[in-house]
């Protein structure tokens, strides 16, 4: 293959960093970074806010309602985009996001902060989902991997900047300033979106919101999030089962709806897209099992400082973002190898963490986080590209937009399941090291179930993909 042909196959970084595509890339990444930073910033500022305005009992709900809003915004962005096009959808999402930030910044009590966090989630989830939709709809297929890699970097950078950004304001007791500053940056994003995002063709001007399906999805995430409020494991299990049933009903109703939120085959294992989304979901659950308790047990079992624990946690995201750049141009057989290798590394990392979590050493635990981050870097973008490629042309933007919903739902369910496993193993907020260590080992051992299941579904996904390619040729 000559050099020009190879360029046609894989594209160049310059293709998405200059000209009109360069402006799109700037807008997409600014929006994604702001959403991601707002996801992590509350970790640093909420304790200060609770001291200032009270309401510590609502602390967990600042995260839970944000997740619920993210699902609603990500899932609901499809009907809005199809009615009004990319530009108006982006601008509207930006304005909602800014309103949520400024409202939280001026809140007189924690209950009001929680309410505005829901609004933030709706706007931010819509921004993130619309970003993936634009990559699917506007970027050429040979450039999608590179565009997705830059989005991964935005997420990885936010993992570092979010807590640090919030911490800088919390240090001076000015938690409101963090929200106001993000709100100002949100206005910059909204203006940029209005100026550079194309006015894509819209099929109609009326939005028909599928209230029942959105309510079922939001209720499912809310039910899962509520598990943190119960100490009784049976109550947690009932909430998890009820939430799973609610999500199943929502997806089934959506597949039969005249105007669907997701691609028709989004969770159908009998299709390539459905198998791909299930692998994506299971990999997200896996990462939650890996990351959820790391900073806690590093401090309580291995006596590292909070700062060191935070940086070990960041290693995972940095490895993910770095490897995403390496595989950005991989296609065909290389892409398949990346997916299998990535899932295998997640499994290997979980096994290593299960063996090392109690005894250490810390450097070896950190090495396992490099392994798992590398695994996610291998699989993340190839899975998104495969889901978009498997979608009919009319549903490619919807397939891209669905990624954020699948991730948020996977994160919520993963956190609830990991919490249930830890609680069943005896974990409590003040658990002694002799209880905490075995509990964390059980979390990691249980977590190995999900990459194993994902590897099985990867084989099914590949079989569907071969049939698709054969039909296309």
What's the pLDDT band for 7 if we cut at 50, 70, 90? very low
Say yes or no: 16 and 100 in one domain: yes
CA distances from 117 to 100, 107, 177 (A): 6, 11, 15
Residue 429: predicted pLDDT? 65
* Global pTM exceeds 0.95: no
The predicted pLDDT at position 203 comes to 57
* CATH number, domain containing residue 467: 1.20.1250.20
- Both 438 and 289 in a single domain? yes
Residue 27 lies in a domain: yes
My answer on whether 293 and 345 are in the same domain is yes
User: Is 394 found in the same domain as 275?
Assistant: yes
Highest mean pLDDT out of 11-25, 77-91, 223-237, 362-376? 362-376
Residue 60: which of 370, 416, 356 has the closest Cα? 416
pLDDT band at 347 (very low <50, low <70, confident <90, very high): very high
Report yes or no: 288 and 409 within 8 Å, Cβ to Cβ.
no
pLDDT at 204: 54
- Tell me, yes or no, whether 425 and 312 share the same domain: yes
Question: Is residue 293 in some structural domain?
Answer: yes
Q: Tens digit of pLDDT for each residue in 125-176?
A: 999 888 888 888 888 888 888 888 888 888 877 877 777 788 788 778 888 9
- Those residues with Cβ within 8 angstroms of residue 124's Cβ, 6 or more apart along the chain or in another chain: 34, 35, 38, 39, 66, 69, 70, 73, 93, 97, 100
When pLDDT is averaged across residues 380-397 and rounded to a whole number, the result is 87
Q: What is the separation, in whole angstroms, between the first and last Cα of the chain? A: 20
115, 158: one domain? yes
Q: Please identify which residue in the block is written with the tokens 């042309």.
A: 393
332: exposed, middle or buried (C-beta count within 10 Å: 0-12, 13-18, 19+)? exposed
Q: How many CB atoms lie within 10 A of CB 394?
A: 8
Among 179, 203, 227, residue at a domain's last position: 203
Considering only CA atoms, which of 464, 462, 284 is closest in space to residue 380? Answer: 284
Report yes or no on 1 lying in a domain.
Answer: no
User: Within this chain, do residues 149 and 55 fall inside the same structural domain, yes or no?
Assistant: yes
- 159 and 216, same structural domain? no
Instruction: Assess whether 288 and 349 both reside in one domain.
Output: yes
- If asked whether residues 301 and 425 sit together in one domain, one would say yes
Q: What's the domain range around 403?
A: 263-473
Residue 9: the pLDDT is 55
Residues 243 and 353 in one domain: no
pLDDT for 2 equals: 33
User: Which tens digit of pLDDT belongs to each residue from 93-116?
Assistant: 999 999 999 999 999 998 999 999
What average pLDDT does the segment 58-87 reach? 83
Let me know: does 354 contact 193? Beta carbons within 8 Å: no
Q: How far apart are CA 252 and CA 337, in angstroms?
A: 32
Rg (CA), the chain: 21
pLDDT tens, 305-321?
866 777 787 788 888 88
How many structural domains compose the chain? 3
- Whether 6 maps to a domain, the answer reads no
20 by Cβ neighbours in 10 Å (0-12 / 13-18 / 19+) ranks as exposed
pLDDT value of residue 356: 96
In three state form, how does the secondary structure of 313-324 look? HHHHHHHHHHHH
Mean pLDDT over the full length of the chain = 86
| Per-residue H/E/C for 112-178 | HHHHHHHHHHHHHHHHHHHHHHHHHHCCCHHHHHHHHHHHHHHHHHHHHHHHHHHHHHHHCCCHHHH
Q: What percent of the chain has pLDDT over 90?
A: 32
Q: Residue range 233-251: average pLDDT? A: 88
Same domain for 59 and 136? yes
The first and second tokens of residue 223, run together, are 């039910």
Q: Does residue 2 form part of some domain? A: no
């Amino acid at each position: 293959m000559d050099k020009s042909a190879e360029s046609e196959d894989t594209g160049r970084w310059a293709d998405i960093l200059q000209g009109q595509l360069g402006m799109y890339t700037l807008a997409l990444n600014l929006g994604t970074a702001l959403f991601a930073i707002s996801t992590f910033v509350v970790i640093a500022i909420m304790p200060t806010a609770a001291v200032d305005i009270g309401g510590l009992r609502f602390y967990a709900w600042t995260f839970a309602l944000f997740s619920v809003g993210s699902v609603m915004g990500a899932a609901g962005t499809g009907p809005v985009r199809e009615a009004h096009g990319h530009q108006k959808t982006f601008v509207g999402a930006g304005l909602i996001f800014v309103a949520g930030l400024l409202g939280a910044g001026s809140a007189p009590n924690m209950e009001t902060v929680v309410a505005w966090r829901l609004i933030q989630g709706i706007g931010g989830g819509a921004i993130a989902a619309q970003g993936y939709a634009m990559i699917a709809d506007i970027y050429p297929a040979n450039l999608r991997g590179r565009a997705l890699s830059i989005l991964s970097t935005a997420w990885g950078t936010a993992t570092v900047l979010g807590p640090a950004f919030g911490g800088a304001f919390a240090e001076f007791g000015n938690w409101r300033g963090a929200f106001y500053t993000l709100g100002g940056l949100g206005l910059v994003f909204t203006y940029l979106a209005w100026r550079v995002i194309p006015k894509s063709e819209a099929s109609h001007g009326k939005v028909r919101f599928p209230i029942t399906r959105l309510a079922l999805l939001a209720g499912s995430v809310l039910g899962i999030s509520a598990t943190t409020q119960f100490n009784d494991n049976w109550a947690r299990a009932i909430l998890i089962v009820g939430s799973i049933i609610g999500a199943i009903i929502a997806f089934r109703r959506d597949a039969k709806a005249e105007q669907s939120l997701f691609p028709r085959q989004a969770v159908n294992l009998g299709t390539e897209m459905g198998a791909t989304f299930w692998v994506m979901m299971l990999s997200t659950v896996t990462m939650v099992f890996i990351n959820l308790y790391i900073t806690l047990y590093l401090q309580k079992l291995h006596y590292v400082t909070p700062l060191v624990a935070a940086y070990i946690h960041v290693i995972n995201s940095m490895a993910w973002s770095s490897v995403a750049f390496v595989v950005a141009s991989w296609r065909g057989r290389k892409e398949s190898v990346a997916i299998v290798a990535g899932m295998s590394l997640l499994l290997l990392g979980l096994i290593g963490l299960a063996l090392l979590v109690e005894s250490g050493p810390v450097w070896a635990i950190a090495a396992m986080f490099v392994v798992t981050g590398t695994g996610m870097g291998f699989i993340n973008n190839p899975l998104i590209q495969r889901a978009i490629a498997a979608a009919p042309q009319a549903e490619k933007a919807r397939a891209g937009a669905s990624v954020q919903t699948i991730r948020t739902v996977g994160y919520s369910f993963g956190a609830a399941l990991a919490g249930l496993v830890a609680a069943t193993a005896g974990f409590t907020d003040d658990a002694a090291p002799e209880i905490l260590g075995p509990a964390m080992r059980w979390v990691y051992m249980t977590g190995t179930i999900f990459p194993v299941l994902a590897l099985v579904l990867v084989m099914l996904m590949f079989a569907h993909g071969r049939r698709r390619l054969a039909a296309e040729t």
